[in-house]
Amino acid sequence: MRLVLRLACCAGALVTLALAPSLASSAGAPSGSGTRVERFTLHSALLRRGLSEILVEPAGAHADRSRPLLVLLHGRGGRPASWLAPGLFAGLRNGGVRAPDVLLVNGGDHSYYHDRADGPWGAYVIREAIPAALKRSGADPARLAIGGISMGGFGAFDLARLNRGRFCAVGGHSAALWQSWGDTAPGAFDDGADFARHDVVAAARRNRRLYGSARIWLDGGLDDPFRTVDEALAAALITPSGGAVIHHWPGSHNTGYWDAHMERYLGFYTSALAARSCHGGYHAPVAAPTGPSGPTGPHGAAGSGHAGPGAGGAAPGGA
């Protein structure tokens, strides 16, 4: 099975992207690395607001316009720049000519990257943010991977589930997952029905090959509060190489843990995007399924929920 996302770079037939002038520099990148960090504002027609995004292009990116694209989603209370850690740049350097361009998506404070009452956040990632990055970078629309930290880990698995076959790899780093509505963190979902529509673990149990032949990565600290549920997702999935593997290292649910393993994350994505199986795809971006009344259907009041792992006290970039 050949997996990819073939998005129209300009997406002109589907959505008009108004992009403000960007600030392109090496700011945030190690001195002398040659890495280009571009900050730009995406004026989202779907969310009706401007969102600050970051595009990271490895050294030599403009000499090779066919690099793959890695989409990374930050955690709750975080921002795209939270990914700009030494490990990210070390991973890109290690990847050499295989290293991907990287889009650091703005997910707001606690959107959890899914279509909900306050806006179609999932559709925005698929139909606006990714096409904008493809247009700016000239990356290969047939080779995409998606991953995230905490809230972003949930978003990566949910978006890949709803857009099956369009990403070559999916990764969750301390992914914020729950098995019941009553356990969720406040604001993660609008109500029980919203949770049920985006219950990643239940979906995996119904279909163990939920992600087709996409490569899967899961990891978390030995003391991470999401460890049990992340292990449940790994146990439910069947991948091309057999069962999904979850990696555990000392640590908890915090920036120190993620920064310590960022270089490993980049190694996984770079390898997956360079694989021969990462080809093919489709032409038009398709928004994630939404509620019964459209992208902002009657999902209930935003900000409702119940206390659970990751509720309150989470470090920036956490659940």
Least confident of 7-21, 113-127, 228-242: 7-21
Q: Torsion angle of alpha carbons 200, 202, 203, 208, nearest 10°?
A: 110
> Which class for 260: exposed (0-12), middle (13-18), buried (19 or more C-beta within 10 A)?
middle
Instruction: Name the 3-class secondary structure at 40.
Output: strand
Closest to 174 (Cα-Cα) out of 120, 228, 215, 123? 228
Closest to 21 (Cα-Cα) out of 46, 1, 38? 38
Mean of per-residue pLDDT scores for the chain:
82
Evaluate if residue 289 carries a pLDDT over 60.
Answer: no
- Model-level pTM? 0.82
pLDDT at 12: 36
pLDDT at 293: 36
Binned at pLDDT 50, 70 and 90, residue 29 comes out as low
Domains annotated for the chain, with CATH where assigned, are: 18-274 (3.40.50.1820)
pLDDT at 287: 40
Residue 141 tokens, joined = 């629309």
pLDDT at 34: 78
The per-residue pLDDT for range 168-181, each reduced to its tens digit, is 999 999 999 999 99
pLDDT at 216: 95
The per-residue pLDDT for range 229-288, each reduced to its tens digit, is 999 999 999 987 777 889 999 999 999 999 999 999 999 999 999 998 886 443 344 444
Span 46-67, average pLDDT? 86
